[in-house]
Amino acid sequence: MFLFSAYKLFKQAADLGHIGAKEELAFAHLVGVHLPMDFNQAKKYFDEGVQTGSAKSHFVCLYLLLDFINFLFI
């Protein structure tokens, strides 16, 4: 119950533009913990973070790109 309430508050903060809340929601959607796995929603939140200059969002997007490239060549 507590985690549901926390993610509900993250969603409210994200809707108001808080990038840290968007990143928390993105991680939850990326791994499917506490929220349904949704890569498109995670990417949307991380892309918004990149546009604001968030180092965390830049790192995750780079990591996902490199992981995908590695997947292609294995």
Residue type, 20: G
- pTM of this structure: 0.82
The residue segments making up the domain with residue 30 are: 2-72
| pLDDT exceeds 60 at position 1 | no
pLDDT at position 73 is: 77
In whole angstroms, give the CA distance from residue 18 to residue 70: 32
Find where tokens 């830049």 sit: 58
Average pLDDT taken over every residue of the chain: 88
pLDDT tens, position by position, 25-58 = 999 999 988 889 998 999 999 999 999 999 999 9
Per the structure, how many domains does the chain have? Answer: 1
